Amino acid sequence: MKTPVVLVTASLAIATALAATFLIATGTRGDSASFTSSAGKLEVETIATGLAYPWGLAFLPNGRMIVTEKPGRIRLVTREGQLSPPLAGVPEVWYSGQGGMHDVALDKSFAQNSTIYFCYAERAAGGGRTAVARGKLTESGTPRLTDVRVIFRQDGPLSSGNHYGCRIAQAPDNSLFVSLGDHFTARDQAQTLDNHIGKVIRITPEGAAPKDNPFAGRSDAKPEVWSYGHRNSQSLAFNPASGDLWEIEHGPRGGDEINIIGKGKNYGWPVIGYGIDYSGAKIHASTSRDGMEQPVKYWVPSIAPSGMAFYTGDLFPEWKGSLFVGALAGHMVARLPLNGNTVGSEERILQNLNERIRDVRQGPDGALWLLTDNSAGRILRVTPAAK
């Protein structure tokens, strides 16, 4: 059982130090603003506007981007910020509460097969569940998806509109890791293996459970389960320095976590944790228990982390090797220096942007790209300011 490394409180001195003078962007395409940081002044450029609660972002080989909108749409975006019409061929999405269209990811062989994966809230009798689909992207003419197939459907108590989770990360062996939420009212199911509630799963690109999954062959477990004891995961990515899968999930009131995901491991929710219920009531039996994993970092109070990127680019040499995390409630981006699996002191940037940050990606150009979470959502590009 690992030892928790970092506890972050609201009284970080570095956050105060960074709350200097800012020039605030107007939100119009092409506008930019400058912000201070430990790497010098940052320029934040509005690339695209007019997106309704954008959720997931990926970069296409031809320089365009593909972005999801929570109401149930997928669009292509040019580097100049031009939005395509919503792609045809997208399945019906249940847009309700926290549910809708969520993450999108390109297949590792996209340049050869044009395949993308996406996850979304799907209506079922009495509620909603997370579904994962794949399809082929046709960019010529009217952009559209073809050969769309649902390859996975979450099994377990349905959601009334909360805690779908859902980020997608493809491993070097081509298998897909997908994070699934606990549906809020079914949190105890995160500790049982006979459902997909509060789990990270591993499936093939066709949706099958690989035979070397940790619980494959057990009659009391779903074969897709890779890890369990999760609440509402909003980030999933492989650390390029180690090859480990990292996950970030929301706590209740306090207790947002960063975890390094291991095969067959139990991450404790709701038995252990560092938060309390929204009512103020106690949830957890304790903060630790034998056989349950500890986070490498947690936040009290919560920042509602969402999206993450391990920085490997050259635009910010001082930040190479850092982890960047968006924050919804925290209205910022957190930069976390890493030393192996040890998380260093947090730097909070872009706080005066005053935006809910849904996703953070490193672009092919080495810039940081952000999605803002609102009805007039934007795609932002963060670069060093011109000197």
Which are the catalytic amino acids? Answer: 163
Q: For 33, how many CA atoms within 13 A lie in the half-sphere containing its CB?
A: 18
Report the DSSP beta bridge partners of residue 236. Answer: 247
Contact (CB, 8 A) for 100 and 70: yes
- Contacts (Cβ under 8 Å, ≥6 apart) of 36: 18, 20, 21, 22, 42
Identify the three-state secondary structure at position 310. Answer: strand
Contact (CB, 8 A) for 145 and 138: yes
Task: Kindly state the tokens that stand for 3.
Answer: 């030892």
- Contacts (Cβ under 8 Å, ≥6 apart) of 288: 1, 272, 294
Amino acid at residue number 231: R
Contact (CB, 8 A) for 262 and 228: no
SS (H, E, C) 196-213: CCCEEEEECCCCCCCCCC
Whole-number Cα distances in Å, 250 to 36, 235, 269: 28, 10, 11
| Dist CA 253 CA 380 (whole Å) | 29
| Dist CA 252 CA 236 (whole Å) | 19
Contact (CB, 8 A) for 307 and 360: yes
Residue 307, φ and ψ in degrees, nearest 5: 80, 145
Residue with tokens 């968006």: 326
- Residue 306 CB neighbour total at 10 angstroms: 26
Kindly state the DSSP code that residue 319 receives in the 8-state scheme.
G
